[in-house]
Amino acid sequence: MERITIRHIEDFDFKLIKTLCELEIENLGNEASVNQWVIPVLIRYGMVYVAEKLPGNEIAGVCQVIRSYNDPSNAFIHSFYIRPGFRGMKIGKLLLKEVINKLRSDDLKKVHLTVDSENISAVALYSFFGFKRSGIRKDEYGRGVNRDLYILTL
């Protein structure tokens, strides 16, 4: 396995924002990705973690988390992806474990996320960590774009 480190992004520069925007499009497509205006907000007011391959700090995966305003004991994983060239290397497990541990240490009670039911590897990863399917979100990201809702009780 590649040598991987997990890093909580707490500050940013233009180069990092540009890289994260490119990765968003590469992994989520133009319509689902967040842009250069949203990423700084997620870094400052949410949480952004990256899995980086050493040496060189090439970003292998990204996880973006926001906290619920209506119930601050809940968080939502907005984006979670591993870049295609790094999939199947257990990087997703390392990244998700770090994020869950941070949320648990911050005394959060539940973590929510949505996933395409056909994304078998993502569903398997979330299930491995104890996420349970809680329902379906119809038209979550546009007409006909449904997502399964998963929740993890911490």
For 64-77, what is each residue's pLDDT tens digit?
A: 999 999 999 999 99
The strand pair at 58-67 and 74-82 is best described as antiparallel
CB 69 within 8 A of CB 77: no
CB 68 within 8 A of CB 76: yes
CA distance 72 to 142: 27
Domains (ranges, CATH) in the chain?
Answer: 3-153 (3.40.630.30)
Per-residue pLDDT, averaged over 110-132, amounts to 96
Q: What does pTM read for this prediction?
A: 0.90
CB 87 within 8 A of CB 3: no
Helix (H, G, I), strand (E, B) or coil at 134: strand
Of 27-31, 41-45, 145-149, the least confident? 27-31
